Structure 1
Amino acid sequence: MSLVEVPELIEFLRREAAALGFSQIGVADVDLSVAEEGLLAWLEAGFHGEMAYMERHGLRRARPAELRPGTSSVITARLDYLPRPSSEPAGGSNNDDWRAIEWHRLEDPAQATVSLYARGRDYHKTMRQRLGKLADALQQRVGPFGHRVFTDSAPVLEVELASRSGIGWRGKHTLALDRDGGSMFFLGEIYIDLALPPTPPVDEHCGSCRACIDVCPTGAIVAPYRLDARRCISYLTIEHAGPIPVELRPALGNRIYGCDDCQLVCPWNKFARKSGLAEFDVRPPFGDATLLALWRWTEADFLRLTEGSAIRRIGHARWRRNLAVALGNLLRDARCERQLADEVRAALAGQRDGADDLLREHIDWALAG
């Protein structure tokens, strides 16, 4: 590949990526050695919690050529996921309205809050399909080459690669941030055995801001750029299989799958872009469902209504555990009217006898409120 062809190839990738719905494309080198010390310190502190696969893979995450032998470059991709509104308000829409809507949802203890990224189709499938098509387009341009596609599916330092390739910078909440698009996007990678020149990184723009640190309900962001997953609501409601620590249950509020608080408060997310993909439109069950309505789902309902959703992977048992905690928080909230409280208590008590030990523990905690 000649020096003349390289800039043209990058522009070709950008055009193809835009046609596939990607917002941004970059190229990173594979020398991530500077990230190894921080990764080891994070693991040694136990901040990965029960995610044993992170410790098992160890430094492999920082060594792309070990994950896929022969890898010379990594193509990084950004896919915006902020759902489009179901209807636009009269006179047009303010892009900042979505944050106000989400804060309002969190303030209503009877509402169920699912992280924005999980309200549409499972991003793993959507991202993987598009990355595969991008790799195919590149092969048609330059001929066959070795590659492998990743999207949150292997030991990959996604934010590190994104930062190196100019997709954004690492925010203090540890997520990738972009001045023109905030942080409401997925990351994906194509490991390739072609040596492409890296695209330049961008400057960091968090400055002295610590809004994400201060807003975290459980204090999971223990220092700038340092997250203790064991306290993170996203980890507790998705990755963690056992009982949710009693001292952290009140902080979950009505969050039953994930948490967006550190992104909602981030000033850069005033620039977050709505996704142009129908796959990320909000599915009806997750737009305005109440906790009580979701608690009444049978397992068959759960499997049917979460088909094609990232939510399904936590399973019905973990889903009900999360709901029991949120319903307990509802009962403890002074705004919960007596009639609703009676309905909630009856619904919880009605499921207690058939519950396994884990769920029964959380039901009992909820009813004690």
Structure 2
Amino acid sequence: MARVTKMGCFAFKSGGKNKPKNQRTPSPSGGAKSPAPTSSEGHKSKSSSASATTPTRTSIQELSEERGAQRLRVFDFDELSSATNGFSRALKIGEGGFGSVYRAFFRSGSGGGGGRVVLAVKRLKQRSLQGHKQWLAEVQFLGVLEHPNLVRLIGYCAVDSETSKQRLLVYEFMPNKSLDDHLFNRAHPPLSWRMRLQIMIGAARGLDYLHEGLQEVQVIYRDFKAANVLLDADFKPKLSDFGLAREGPTEGKTHVSTAVVGTHGYAAPDYIETGHLTTRSDVWSYGVVLYEILTGRRSVERSRPPEEQKLLDWVARHPPESHSFRSIMDPRLGGKYPAAAARRVARLADRCLVKNPKERPPMRDVVGELERVLQMDPSPPPLVEKDGGDRRRSPPAKR
């Protein structure tokens, strides 16, 4: 008989034949049905001897063993195949180096009268060692992290057989795709000035939570870009794709030393040059995206004239205080933005992009500044007519 497993406000119906009694987050070497690795006795002893008044940093792996097992569901592969109509191309909504993402339909409730729940299923490419590492990172991080501006991971699937190795993730469905789609794909109507600010405020809150929101561990996102900012039905932003996320430095250290990964055009130069990763590496990436929402241009566009191909080099020739600043603004805005607010956002972006990472603002300060910008009057000043009346209209955008 089928067994119903409740997840949040609805329930999934599953066969339950191969479902483990104790759902555990996966181990690095085994499948999802293997028990998660436990900490060594030496580590336990060290933690227990720490002062009760001193907060003890805990690894994501340990936290995922404790919390992820309770929050995440282990899916059967056949169930996910059925929900995506055999991973039909007609249901494919995205594709990248990791593999493909599909829209998936599940029945809610245990009875026949339940409706359908739409989720997203990411299927990693087979025989990819790097893909497995990123899949595991997503399971461990998103099994622990919980914030309104982070995408919610529902569960996962891991199947190893003689012929194949399957790694899948199941997320909440984000119907409005990504910030990247709405900024750069002309098939979508342009985002208003206010909507752009609201999306960036939400994204900044998500990063601030990763950097400072958990007492036990600090998280460095390492892949902030417009394509990883997904938008729900109300255009609320949520950070996605945690495959490259890393834990922050342990006590007494200033950075994490790691191989340089990420997306070209968004990685901080100090990280590229030294391999030293900090939360301020994320701040740099955020500054790049701030200029993308101002200009409507990607960080790198090879189709542009040589002097305009690299976004940061181009905008540097039109600083916020210059008369030519308005020439960099996205023409799709149609001039419908307060010029003073746009210059203030550019100045904030420049602070995020300073060479010395220690001088970049923490994300908490970024959130506060953007909230203040959002409160600035979005309407242009009234124009006085000769008859003494006044009317409001947007000034013509400079080209």
- TM-score of the two chains, using structure 1 as the length reference: 0.30
Is the radius of gyration larger for structure 1 or structure 2? 2
Kindly indicate which of the two structures has a greater share of residues assigned to strand.
Answer: 2
Kindly indicate which of the two structures has a greater share of residues assigned to helix.
Answer: 1
- TM-score of the two chains, using structure 2 as the length reference: 0.29
